[in-house]
Amino acid sequence: MKRYVHFKHHHASQSVIGMIVLAAALLLAACESQVTEQAFAPDPTATATATVEVVIEPSPMASMTPMPTLSACESSGVVVQGRSPAARGIASLDYRMYLPPCYDEARPGGYPLLVLLHGALYQDDQWDRLGVDETADRLILSGQAPPFLILMPTEPLSGARLLESDFDTWLVGGLLPYIDSTYAVCSYCACRAIGGLSRGAVWALRIGFVEWRSFGAVGGHSLLGDYPALPQWSHDFNGQGPLRLYLDSGSADPGIGDVRRVMNTLDILDIPYEWHLNPGNHDEAYWSAHVEEYLRWYSGGW
């Protein structure tokens, strides 16, 4: 039976920058790869360094519900719901976290982390609804995958154009450091992966390649949109990228042309990837049918 635990933590934000710097130093030597890029062309009216500061004052301290204590070995994992703290320029983000059976918050080295991003106009419950936690339970308990964590954050402005959303900044600069300080998470890029479906696939590629020191694998499931900035990003990041890249789509997906253009760009840049074309459309029926396939691929690198 699926179990949920709701809780909120409010941590002081003074160490966010320090944690990011420390994480970058630890991960710098951990991964080597090639690159890929993301979907939408840069705003021609803005320079590369022009930003708009978002000032969000920290939320007041509130009573905290303690982290759930699991018994020595549970027969299934647990899905925890929470919210990261806000800080200047960093919005708080709601999230769901899948903790595997027998989760041990003191586990040496921590657990591999998989970040899964939802599609446009959806929230952090989409992957949960597709059965990702039940599938992870089955693979872990049968010994077909090592125990791992799954982070499912909500993008607050998922209906806006990507250039109008700071989701990548909030995720990398706020939520991930908070997750690292709250859960037993492996800190090396080889044991961290990010993926998404539809709009989430666009974000996964953008974040995965820009933060190539932080993620060893990137998955783009039924991505929509072209990636004209990919060659420039390849140049900016010196040909670096994730160790592993997975792309898939349904044969009847209306965005299949966009996916093929992305693949053509990857070929030109000599960036290796794994491509799967399956029967199906751009919908939850297609994604739920391939959840196990996705988790096997992500965990296969761990």
The full set of domain ranges for the chain reads: 93-302
Q: Can you give the pLDDT at residue 19?
A: 37
Between 62 and 224, the higher pLDDT residue? 224
Judge: domain 93-302, CATH 3.40.50.1820: yes
Q: Are 205 and 223 a contacting pair, CB within 8 Å?
A: yes
Per-residue pLDDT, averaged over 50-67, amounts to 37
pLDDT at res. 179: 95
Mean pLDDT, rounded, for 163-192: 90
Q: Are 112 and 186 in contact (CB under 8 A)?
A: yes
In which band, very low, low, confident or very high, does the pLDDT at 245 lie, cut at 50, 70 and 90? very high
How large is the average pLDDT for residues 113-140? 94
Measured at the CA of 36, the angle between CA 31 and CA 39, to 5 degrees, comes to 140
Dump pLDDT digits (tens) for 178-212. 999 999 999 898 999 999 999 899 889 888 888 77
The pTM is what? Answer: 0.74
CA distance 228 to 219: 19
pLDDT tier, 249 (very low <50, low <70, confident <90, very high otherwise): very high
pLDDT of residue 231: 62
Query: Highest mean pLDDT range out of 46-55, 135-144, 238-247, 268-277?
Result: 135-144
The CA distances from residue 250 to 116, 172, 177, 267, in Å, are 19, 30, 35, 21
Nearest to 244 by CA among 221, 271, 266: 271
